[in-house]
Amino acid sequence: MNKIKNQTRPVFPFTAIIGQEEMKLALVLNMIDPKIGGVMIMGDRGTGKSTTIRAIADLLPEIEIVSDDVFNSHPYDYDLMSDLVKQQIESKVNLKTQLIKVPMVDLPLGATEDRLCGTIDIEKALNEGVKSFEPGLLAKANRGILYVDEVNLLDDHLVDILLDSAASGWNTVEREGISIRHPARFVLVGSGNPEEGELRPQLLDRFGMHAEIRTVKDPLLRVQIVEQRAKFDHDPYSCIDEFCDQQNELKESIIIAQKKLVSVIIDYDLKVKISQICGVLNVDGLRGDIVTNRAAKAFAAYQNKDEVEIDDIKKVITLCLRHRLRKDPLDTIDSGTKVNKIVHEILSE
């Protein structure tokens, strides 16, 4: 209990969130396999989008980083460490490490490109001959979660940079012939309200998953949600304590699934069926096929299975494909009925 009270700011427990199963599943699967490519959460105002995203970050196990490294470099994985750390390893320097909570970085709507990517101090480079880099939000988000609320209102140019870094796992800053590159492997989570406009189809397609959330209509469930929130606001620590066992159980499931993921297999016939569905739905490119395969394996690992089954595909495929059907920016996103119809026809054969 004392350990909990040491937190600077209590976070609403993920397992205490009622409803919104689609959003919760999409977030959990991205934590199991960050290569799914993030999640776009669209829904009404006041449906707990931000609360849920902060809750999943708080739930995750701590990560080991090289002490005092601004990029949260991994002490052993070359893909997740900065050039400086690599040089230290090659020079046989004994690195100190520490455990930190998974970084959760908010990107404010008014952020500039420099704030996002970081800046190079040209004066220092010219006068002293040293590369001086002021890290941006992409550096802080390495190995964590980058959350963009109202992503549909963000400048398209910044969304492009975000998606490029999320896909490649690297951020490169170039200025006056000086170039600095650092790891930026993060789960990109965007949220927004459809009333304020959709993202362009080209940008939307680059989010791995698309979760839709609606305001709960059932009065009994609404009362339950209101009471749960009131209880947390009144005494957050006893609420955190109440859900402690469930939180630990879910955390353990995610850790086991992360380890199990590499050994999960998906039958060739099922891969063909996934691609057949993408073809019938006229999904452009192969991102839909790749993400569905990844998500199905992550869901199977989460269920502690060794092999993907048809039900695993049915559970995730709508989340992976519904936002890839828009060809015209003026179209609305399919809620899933079109995907479900084709999935049912093909997977029932």
**Is it the case that residue 334 has pLDDT exceeding 90?**
no
The values of phi and psi at residue 304, to 5°, are 65, 40
Query: Two tokens at 249?
Result: 């159980």
For residue 151, CA distances in Å to 3, 13, 116, 223 come to 35, 24, 14, 30
Active site residue 115: no
- What does the alpha-carbon distance between residue 21 and residue 27 come to, in Å, rounded to a whole number? 10
pLDDT tens-digit profile of 47-63?
778 888 889 988 888 88
pLDDT tens-digit profile of 3-47?
444 446 788 999 988 888 889 999 999 999 988 989 999 887 777
- What does the alpha-carbon distance between residue 1 and residue 103 come to, in Å, rounded to a whole number? 23
Question: Which pLDDT band, with edges at 50, 70 and 90, does 333 fall under?
Answer: low
- What does the alpha-carbon distance between residue 202 and residue 316 come to, in Å, rounded to a whole number? 21
Which pLDDT score is estimated for 1? 44
**Is it the case that residue 197 has pLDDT exceeding 50?**
yes
Q: What is the mean pLDDT of the chain?
A: 85
**Is it the case that residue 129 has pLDDT exceeding 80?**
no
Determine which one of 54, 185, 206, 287 is catalytic. Answer: 287
Question: Which pLDDT band, with edges at 50, 70 and 90, does 108 fall under?
Answer: confident
Which pLDDT score is estimated for 181? 85
- Residue position matching structure tokens 């630990």: 248
Confidence (pTM): 0.87
> Taking each helix axis from N to C terminus, what angle separates 49-59 and 21-32, rounded to the nearest 10 degrees?
30
Q: Which domains does the chain have, with CATH numbers?
A: 2-213 (3.40.50.300), 262-347 (1.10.8.80)
Question: Which pLDDT band, with edges at 50, 70 and 90, does 335 fall under?
Answer: low
Query: Two tokens at 142?
Result: 């390495």
Neighbours of 235 (CB within 10 A): 12
- What does the alpha-carbon distance between residue 335 and residue 322 come to, in Å, rounded to a whole number? 7
Which pLDDT score is estimated for 4? 45
**Is it the case that residue 331 has pLDDT exceeding 70?**
no
pLDDT tens-digit profile of 137-192?
999 999 999 999 888 888 888 888 888 888 888 888 887 777 788 889 899 998 88
Read off the pLDDT of each residue in 187-199 and give the average, rounded to a whole number: 83
More confident residue, 115 or 214: 115
pLDDT tens-digit profile of 235-291?
889 989 999 999 999 999 999 999 999 999 999 999 999 999 999 988 888 999 999
- What does the alpha-carbon distance between residue 336 and residue 317 come to, in Å, rounded to a whole number? 9
Please give the span between the terminal C-alpha atoms of the chain, in angstroms, as a whole number: 54
**Is it the case that residue 70 has pLDDT exceeding 80?**
yes
Which pLDDT score is estimated for 332? 60
**Is it the case that residue 319 has pLDDT exceeding 70?**
yes
- What does the alpha-carbon distance between residue 54 and residue 36 come to, in Å, rounded to a whole number? 19
Calculate what percentage of the chain has a pLDDT beyond 70. Answer: 92
Q: Is the dihedral of CA 57, 61, 63, 67 positive or negative?
A: positive
- What does the alpha-carbon distance between residue 143 and residue 81 come to, in Å, rounded to a whole number? 10
